Structure 1
């Protein structure tokens, strides 16, 4: 990006600098809740749960107690990256044959048959138990207060809420609790969710078991059964999160970490491995040559994703092969500099919206954290008087009989949400994420290249114009030049535009020379980075 003229911040927001602790999230009240936890002596992990809980209240279309979470953590006590998979599983009663018998050729996007077991609350409990210093009662208090007393709805969130009015009207509880006289709250309206406050209070008092084994679990299960769904009390009572070994690749001296499947983090790493074969410093940023290259790399990496990624407890996922540098190099041979790939399959044979937040504390403990309902308001189903939206992650399954990711009871679906963490010389360097379903790997790669290859700071890297390759072509943000647009069309790409289509970035960098914190937050969202 161009240099910002002194006194003229129009080209991008300023980087947020702070010496002690920092929180970056998609809503200011959530960022502030996390910061207050840090200032009260809590660590990054306490603050992340506080911020995530507030987001579940103030950004309910994107996240909630009925969703899933993933986290990468770096605790200075053991000095290693750990990964928590807090995603839920398909109900034990769910089966592929039922959906086919009802005329489905693919999983329904919303409704009572799109549900998987909520993983969020158990994931929060795992983070606090293993790495936190505070109780649920302490970290949930800000969220409880906003749910009980109300909060002013922010601009972008109000717009997104408005778009989902028709979905919310299809469910009695969603309409009653999350609309005002049949309408979404407008920007600045004070909104209260007392039903959700009661649920949060129960968790504050009784911990994760209050959600999975107590009155809340029974109410969710009873409600779903009455509506003809599969999610049961047994699914909730037996749910558990999983600490897994993170996966990583080294990109030009930086170790980039992701969670392994069932998430799509391997796609980010695969794209970076392929891009390491090209001299990006001699390719102009956001030129047609640059966007063409990244789109072609994305096609190859996503072809492997769609074929191979599944729950490793049910299928052999070839992560090691997908991360092999030689394999990445061989995949690059399919890329034509002048023409786009029309179609591509996997390179070998086997022998959705979200919230992201990052927190760094005074001791430089780091958490890269993501929480999601998948598409806006998830299934569109609020489970009785709990005030909790249930997620629609079952849509991540295939109904093909022999697909690795086909629906099976108790199985985790292919998951889009992926936090990222970068280490330099074995120390945390950059914690970041880019929300937005399929946009996440290609968004993460764009942001990381903006910083590492094109020298952008942590704000510019996330604020720079992005593109998104999708089934219909390449969508470009309006600030990408008409010259680039025309040249891509000349290469044979179908070029489109999109609304609210390019993800939402948050990131915190630890300056390796000064040990100070630098935060960036995407203007595509309502949030901010804030430190002290």
Structure 2
């Protein structure tokens, strides 16, 4: 059955054309190889087997981080302990996507309470910088820049670790952080995809060096001899010292102690806006995940704004109004419906999603079945709409991230995502601390009438979202897919692959994806001035030429992209409710690995 459904995607490029030959991290071109994939005794030729384990499972973007998580589980830690340990390791080993200078969101299935718990560990803008002062600092700029001190918001990750640990953790935090501290001091070999991203980040920093203000610290930490290369042993003794202070002094070491004072002094020195008071005042939020029924007993769960998680729920609410399984998975019809549902949902993201403490959104209405049907009715089955707009409330009265998931023998499942936002972040590293500050503040709007407008002490709109699925009311799947606006549409595509087309966990992530980019954005003004309202539909090589031609005829602006970069990085764990056995998956677009035991 899968062969028939996936025939349009079974054309994954067997031979690279000269145009498809990709530039490697060293700058050389890979040779054209007249050879394709080998065979498989079971499953699809473009995928591999999921990983199975009865006692625990970890799926992360780096094999060493996955191994650290499994080691923590074997030593008696639970899934939360292991997730924190893996996240700390990824901040060292994959700093191109995350680190303690960024923010964190998590969904936890707690087998004791039989409930989902959500954590929003995102930071705020400087309390002492008004909207008027920021506009003055921006000068002639019409948006917040991606680099330098202006887009930096308070890092929420460390507080997120301690909130998770305080509520669910078992093992001492010092023991949880020890593996990463050791690797930071002694070194670890750089993985190939991460090496590629190191070079991309260095190139981007060099192109926009004048924005950064101070780059010497970042250069000394990662780029003293150029970008780290594949297989090179990399050390970060400054990060080891920082993590050691956190391990012994707790979250207050970061937000109120020596680390906070160092960050304060650094921003004063370079003319930034964050101050000691901003770090000292920071706290995370425990939030209620939202869920919507899709079909066949499957329920998708996400976190509310200021994240974009509910965009995935809105897409699911739209798409459940049509039986996609009647069409082949890679057909133009299915891709068209997914794209139009994404465009509709993201119009509401651009209009309503912001810090709920300052600009609450009409969430019940946005997630209602009635509204989903109304939005579905706007989709022309034969033609792409030139533009959509946001709904009118019927009220009465290119991001880089890491995603990981861990599950333990007791049934606890952790879905965690963490990011510095754009690439490695702002380009700024405080003296001697070994981590880069995020540039999440780039995502504020400057329209004073917009819900996401910049304000002092406000959380910006967030792209990073963990996901979870239930089946027949029971915990089923913790999963995520990193990468800016790709995340909600990636969550929905994975869900469709599993629910509508019967793919296994590994195939659901390896299958070719689409990424629609464009439409109004949360950073626009209320009118969406300058937005590309039709946008571009980016497709991977596994989408057939026939489907691409049909999509173009339907009015979509289609572009083939062969390097996988904009299509995210997927990790997932499924729990069999009858046997308790875990299935784990990670994918080809990253260096990661799923490990079970």
After TM superposition, the score normalised by the length of structure 2 is 0.87
Q: Does 1:424 align with 2:467?
A: no
- Count of aligned pairs: 531
* Counterpart among 546, 549, 561 of residue 483 in structure 1: 546
Partner of 1:442: 489
**Aligned-pair CA distance for 1:2:** 3.3
Partner of 1:232: 275
* Counterpart among 524, 529, 532 of residue 594 in structure 2: 529
Please list, as runs of the form range in 1=range in 2, the aligned pairs for 1:254-403 lying within 5 A after superposition: 254-349=298-393, 352-403=399-450
Indicate the larger mover: 27-36 or 169-178: 169-178
**Do 2:55 and 2:596's aligned partners in 1 also have CA atoms closer than 8 Å?**
yes
Q: Secondary structure at the match of 1:272?
A: helix
* Counterpart among 456, 463, 473 of residue 510 in structure 2: 463
* Counterpart among 83, 88, 107 of residue 123 in structure 2: 88
Q: C-alpha separation between the residues in 2 aligned to 1:143 and 1:298?
A: 38
* Counterpart among 190, 195, 198 of residue 233 in structure 2: 190
Q: C-alpha separation between the residues in 2 aligned to 1:135 and 1:454?
A: 43
Q: Does 1:130 align with 2:167?
A: yes
Please list, as runs of the form range in 1=range in 2, the aligned pairs for 1:114-125 lying within 5 A after superposition: 114-125=151-162
Which structure 2 residue ranges, 5 or more long, are not aligned?
5-38, 210-214, 519-534
Partner of 1:179: 223
Q: C-alpha separation between the residues in 2 aligned to 1:83 and 1:349?
A: 26
* Counterpart among 61, 72, 97 of residue 62 in structure 1: 97
- Aligned CA distance change for structure 1 residues 456 and 95 (closer, same or farther; 3 Å): same
Q: Secondary structure at the match of 2:478?
A: strand
**Do 1:168 and 1:175's aligned partners in 2 also have CA atoms closer than 8 Å?**
no
Q: C-alpha separation between the residues in 2 aligned to 1:7 and 1:337?
A: 35
Q: Secondary structure at the match of 2:154?
A: coil
Q: C-alpha separation between the residues in 1 aligned to 2:569 and 2:129?
A: 33
**Do 2:365 and 2:393's aligned partners in 1 also have CA atoms closer than 8 Å?**
no
After TM superposition, the score normalised by the length of structure 1 is 0.98
Q: C-alpha separation between the residues in 2 aligned to 1:118 and 1:167?
A: 22
- Aligned CA distance change for structure 1 residues 223 and 350 (closer, same or farther; 3 Å): farther
**Do 1:397 and 1:413's aligned partners in 2 also have CA atoms closer than 8 Å?**
yes
Q: C-alpha separation between the residues in 1 aligned to 2:482 and 2:324?
A: 25
Q: Secondary structure at the match of 1:163?
A: helix
Q: C-alpha separation between the residues in 2 aligned to 1:349 and 1:96?
A: 28
Q: Secondary structure at the match of 2:120?
A: strand
Partner of 2:532: none
Q: C-alpha separation between the residues in 2 aligned to 1:167 and 1:483?
A: 36
**Aligned-pair CA distance for 1:167:** 4.3
**Do 1:152 and 1:187's aligned partners in 2 also have CA atoms closer than 8 Å?**
yes
Partner of 1:212: 255
**Aligned-pair CA distance for 1:502:** 0.3
Q: Secondary structure at the match of 1:297?
A: helix
**Aligned-pair CA distance for 1:9:** 7.6
**Do 2:76 and 2:171's aligned partners in 1 also have CA atoms closer than 8 Å?**
no
Q: Does 1:163 align with 2:200?
A: yes
Q: C-alpha separation between the residues in 2 aligned to 1:58 and 1:177?
A: 13
**Aligned-pair CA distance for 1:100:** 2.7
Q: C-alpha separation between the residues in 1 aligned to 2:393 and 2:142?
A: 25
**Do 1:46 and 1:128's aligned partners in 2 also have CA atoms closer than 8 Å?**
yes
Q: C-alpha separation between the residues in 1 aligned to 2:390 and 2:573?
A: 34
Q: Secondary structure at the match of 2:421?
A: coil
**Do 2:362 and 2:393's aligned partners in 1 also have CA atoms closer than 8 Å?**
no
Runs of 4+ in 1 over 3 A off after TM superposition: 1-5, 7-10, 166-170
Partner of 1:510: 575
**Do 1:168 and 1:174's aligned partners in 2 also have CA atoms closer than 8 Å?**
no
Q: C-alpha separation between the residues in 2 aligned to 1:392 and 1:271?
A: 28
Partner of 2:180: 143
Partner of 2:83: 48
Give the root-mean-square deviation of aligned CA atoms: 1.4
**Aligned-pair CA distance for 1:134:** 1.2
Q: C-alpha separation between the residues in 1 aligned to 2:145 and 2:366?
A: 30
**Do 1:521 and 1:527's aligned partners in 2 also have CA atoms closer than 8 Å?**
yes
